[in-house]
Structure 1
Amino acid sequence: MQTAETKRNILVGLFIFFGLVIFIVGIFTLGGQQKSFVKSLRINAVFNDIGGLKPGNNVWFSGVKIGTVKTIKFYGRSQVEVNMSIEQSAQQYIRKDASAKLSSDGLIGNKIIVLFGGNPKMPEIEDGDILQVQKELSTDDIMKTFQQNNENLIGITTNFKKLSTDIVKGKGTAGALLADSSLAMSFRAIVNNLQKTTRTSAKLAGQLGVFTAKLNTKGGLADKVMTDTTVFNKLQATANQLQKTAGNASAITENLTKASNKLNSTDNAMGLLLNDAKTANQVKTTMGNLEQSSQKLNDDLEAVQHNFLLRGFFKKKEKAEAAAATTPKATTNE
């Protein structure tokens, strides 16, 4: 009896011992996961929507777990304040202007909070600080964006379907090009003409290149004009002479214009004769009088020749003139 009771007590003691060991190990394990035995500080962040975040979810910084979410409570009218426990060892990396953002642990994992350190020049965070919050697209926002993209895609495919149908039916320019053979032939002729024009332009460019090369040939006219100062000076002198000649011609033209203007005016003798009928008649009358006087003078001279006093003188003169006229002829005959 005593032996059986002793065995039972030993077994109960062993069971209780192992139970206490397991309990203590479990406490330390859970405490290690929850950072219960690590020095920490409390910081807060106020979110508009926490998207299912719960106490006990992790807080990450640069891919390292540095704390957990302790409490969640409403803040103001519709916001939520999240209290986080952060390891004190991470305090030196998180600054006053640090920010917090909601994220997920994997694609469909638990919600977590990700911290961004901020400007290194700012002081470190302290217990009780409130961090800035970065706005995150919620699942609803993402679904709305997907829905809008789907609607846009449906609209694009609908328009493309209508456009392709119109093209097949020959509507529009593209449809006419595909359906109307004559229009397609015209378009092909236009393309051929453009090709010919391109070839002609290339040929013309080559000819211009050859021509410019000839102009640049040493010893040519263009080269001499551009490089030989003597030829340039001669051309310049010729141009100056042409300019002077043009100036002289202009002066002559101006003088002729003045002379013609003088002939058209009555302030000079020639202009008076050409333009004044009275003066012209007077000159004509004077010329008539002179003609009559010369006729009378001839008659008087004829009468003088027949005068008996001077008849001998004129006869001697006639004989002398006749002898002078016949003497050269005799010499010539000899």
Structure 2
Amino acid sequence: MSTESNKRSIVVGIFVLVGIAIFVAGVFVLGGQQKRFTKSIKLMAVFKDVGGLKVGNNVWFSGVKIGTVKRISFYGNAQVEVDMSIEQSSQQYIRKDADATISSDGLIGNKIVVITGGTTKHPEVEDGDRIKTSAALSSDQIMATLQENNNNLLKVTNDFKELVGNLRRGKGTVGAVLTDSLVAENFKKAMRNLERASDNTVKVTGSVSQFAAKLNTKGTLANELVTDTTVFRRLSRSAAQLEKAAGSANQTVGTLSQTSTNLNRASEKLNNTNSPLGVLLTDQETATNLRTTLRNLSQGTVLLNQDLKAAQSNFLLRGFFKKQAKEAAKKKADSTAVVQP
């Protein structure tokens, strides 16, 4: 009997030791989750609505759990003050201009407090500081927004359904294009013309690019015309000279035209049988008479010269002619004497 009692005592003792070990481990685990055994500081925040936040909920900073909610109490006029226990090791990262909001651990998880950064221009928080807060969207607001989005989506779906129905019935330009073969063919032709115009535009663009490249090539006439001011001035002077030459040519052409007009008039007068020159040039009988008259005058001149010579030999006129000869000789001698030094 004593042996069986000892065995039972040993088994009971073992179970008791295991239970104590499990209890101690549970205490350490729960204490570790609740940050019971780490140094911490107290931070406070005042919210208008905590949305179901409870004591013991977690506090997160940049996605890392840094503390828990210790107390929730009313503050001022319909506000709620939340006391948070924050690990002292994370104090250096939280600045006095940090911001706290109420969020959820997942889509439908427990409420948590999320602390966002702050700037290095401000010092780190101290034990007992109250940080500023910002309101977050509640689940009711999210559901209201989703409901409004659903209503808008329903309206859009109905409008799209009506639009598709109109297209199928051939209403509107697009419906006519889809249902009327003639309109569709015209639309295809227009698209082909547009494609050809696009190809021509590409070719023109390529030509313009080539021309621009030639303009940018140094040493070419086009580049000198665009960039060299000396060549431009020379061309300007040449253009001015060409303009003057063109004016002179116009004047010359005008003079030639007037001369041609005068010649035409003279030709008309010469061809006119009523004028003396016209008669001389066109009338054969008059020309014959004129030639006969000229021959007679020539013969009369010869006879007159002979008569004059005969008169010089006449004794009645011989003295007169001698006197004339002496005076002529005297004048010639006087002029010779004046010329000689």
Q: TM-score range by the shorter chain?
A: 0.5 to 0.7
- Which structure 2 residues correspond to residues 276-291 of structure 1 after superposition, within 5 A? none
Match of 1:102, SS state, is strand
The corresponding residue for 1:170 is: 170
- Give the structure-2-normalised TM-score: 0.57
Structure 1 residues 100, 229: closer, same or farther in 2, change over 3 A?
closer
1:50 maps to 50
Shift of 1:200: 6.6
Flag the 1:74–1:10 CA change in 2: closer, same or farther, 3 A. Answer: same
Sort the Cα spacing of 1:192 and 1:13 in 2 relative to 1 into closer, same or farther, 3 A.
closer
Give the distance between the partners of 1:224 and 1:28, measured in 2 at CA.
92
Residue matched to 2:76:
76
Question: Deviations 1:115-161 (Å, cap 9, x if unpaired)?
Answer: 22311231221222111123322212221221122111111111111
Aligned equivalents of 1:202 and 1:28: distance in 2? 79
1:65 maps to 65
Question: Of the candidates 238, 241, 254, which is equivalent to residue 242 of structure 2?
Answer: 238
Rounded Cα–Cα distance in structure 1 between residues aligned with 2:238 and 2:303: 67
**1:327 maps to what in 2?**
300
2:160 aligns with: 160
CA contact (8 A) 1:224 1:231 kept: no
Alignment partners' CA distance in 2, 1:56 and 1:179:
68
Deviations 1:203-247 (A, max 9, x none): 88899999999xxxxxxx999999598776554323235568999
Instruction: Give the letter aligned to residue 300 of structure 2.
Output: T
Deviations 1:238-280 (A, max 9, x none): 3235568999xxxxxxxxxxxxxxxxxxxxxxxxxxxxxxxxx
Match of residue 141 from structure 1? 141
User: Which whole-Å CA distance do the structure 2 matches of 1:171 and 1:118 have between them?
Assistant: 59
Structure 1: unaligned runs, 5 residues or longer: 214-220, 248-322
Task: Report % sequence identity.
Answer: 47
Partner of 2:260: none
User: Which stretch shows the higher mean deviation, 86-95 or 166-175?
Assistant: 86-95
In 2, Cα distance between equivalents of 1:185 and 1:70: 77
1:70 Cα deviation from its structure 2 partner: 0.6
Distance 1:242 1:52, change over 3 A: same
Secondary structure at the aligned position of 2:66 is classed as strand
Aligned equivalent of 1:287: none
What TM-score, normalized by structure 1, do the two folds share?
0.58
Which residue number in structure 2 is paired with residue 151 of structure 1?
Answer: 151
Could you say if the C-alpha distance between residues 118 and 222 of structure 1 is closer, same or farther in structure 2, counting changes exceeding 3 Å? closer
SS state at 1:118 partner: coil
Letter in structure 2 aligned against 1:38? T
User: Structure 1 residues 208 and 330 mapped into 2: Cα distance closer, same or farther (>3 Å)?
Assistant: farther
Shift of 1:58: 1.5
In structure 2, the partner of 1:30 is 30
Check 1:209–1:102 CA distance in 2 against 1; reply closer, same or farther (3 A cut): closer
SS at match of 2:300: helix
Residue 297 of structure 1 aligns with which residue?
none
For structure 2, which runs of at least 5 residues remain unmatched after alignment?
Answer: 214-220, 252-295, 305-341
> Paired residues, what number?
252
Which residue is 2:112 aligned to?
A: 112
The structure-2 alpha-carbon separation of the partners of 1:241 and 1:159, relative to structure 1 and needing over 3 Å to count, comes to same
Counterpart amino acid of 1:140? D
AA partner of residue 238 (structure 1): L
- What's the secondary structure of 1:114's corresponding residue? strand
Letter in 2 for 1:145: T
Provide the C-alpha distance between the structure 2 equivalents of 1:146 and 1:176, rounded to a whole number of angstroms.
38
